Amino acid sequence: MTADLAVVGAGPAGLTAAATAARLGLDVTLLDAAERPGGQLYRHPAGGPVPRPVRRLVRRLDRVTHLPHHHVWTVVRDGDTWLLHAVAGPDEAPAAVRARAVLLATGAYERQLPFPGWTLPGVVGAGGAQAMLKGGLALPCTGAPPAGTGPGAGGRIVVAGSGPLLLAVATTLAAAGARVPVLVEASGPAAYARHAAALARNPAKLLQGALYGGALLHRTTRLLTRHAVTAAHGTTRLEAVTVTRLDPDWRPVPGTGRRVPCDALAVGHGLVPQLELATGLGCATRRTPDGTPALEVDAEQRTSVPGLWAAGETCGVGGAELAAAEGEIAALSVAGRRPPAAAARRRARLRAFADALAAAHRPGPGWTDWLDGVTEVCRCEEVTAARIRAAVTDLGARDARSVKLLTRAGMGWCQGRTCGPAVARLAGRDPAPDRRPLSCPVPLSQLAQPPGAEK
């Protein structure tokens, strides 16, 4: 059987696109690696309450074939249709879906900038800490599951990095019973002033940020801007962090470091679009204002490859509202409908806001001064900053790929998803778009004889 549309990813963009396309009469198959729809933003535990936006969209999916636990590892052109190969379920069974059109809504993952001690137990990604709580798992500081008055009540968790996600993470952790003594933001208010017009056109977003900030102040969380966690300390696990003032280029200001005791650190510097499926097909990319690659799409969310659409964070990180708007426009386009002018204006307003935030929180070039020689930049292969710098200065490496060949940085389990941006910056380059033939680990048996699909 051939679907009219295959949607990859069941976050806000994919859910909206699938529901819209089905309403317009298309036969839609929705594939997602997770067990439940909602993506990272609307992650929820099994048996727990389903977030309201997900409930609203799921009610419109009665005519959609939803395939959870299906991790699409490649998409190939097969005549006038597309063939999507997936690893399905815990037993990694082979699966394939055939469709006339494909919409990629694969989301994003966290950007991490390494620092001394970032591999200590108790240091987790900011978004990862939030996902643990949303999934009903333990807080990183205690190992105790959410219950009663909150998991790890009294546990001290420092939240640090850069970007609007930090406010939401700190609020979620505090509401779950943790103490958040300080929120450390590398950017400063002046970065927002340069984009005042785009911010002012989105008052609801500003109000949301103010509500988060007010909730944290009520809980006595201290906000430090133009600061960063430049070191983590501990023996068998995290015990404290060093917080240091930064100059405008994000270089540590000498003599400003202070030690903050804590039980855990939730740290992240924004999100990076997940592009492997698209770049493997040759889709054009663009550089976002924070220096990360994202997919280039036209006014109807079409990529540069005919028959392939994209929506959501793959087109540049912008949050659930923008992702849903793009998903709706893409579905209308697939169905041969011209998106209404109001939808286009809404998308443009939200995209301008997202670009303003991206520019305001772009990592400064001086952050690499946080690193001492023994800091592991690539944790999978245990490649230190000193080895990467030596590859650049002594062996002539000029980009992440040549550093990889000389040091093995990026050759481990994550295939450079965690260390890639840092390795590129140490080589003096902005991160290049990920170009991998496979988007996830695949059993060799599936590579030897990938499954087909009925025509």
Contact predicate 3/314, CB 8 Å: no
Higher pLDDT, 239 or 453: 239
Contact predicate 446/437, CB 8 Å: no
Higher pLDDT, 227 or 201: 227
Mean pLDDT, the chain, integer: 88
d(CA 349, CA 422) in angstroms, rounded, equals 31
Which of 84-98, 101-115, 176-190, 204-218 is least confident?
A: 204-218
Q: Calculate what percentage of the chain has a pLDDT beyond 70.
A: 91
Provide mean pLDDT across the span 428-436. Answer: 84
- pLDDT at position 142, please? 53
Higher pLDDT, 400 or 286: 286
pTM strictly above 0.75: yes
| Most confident residue range from 203-217, 223-237, 431-445 | 223-237
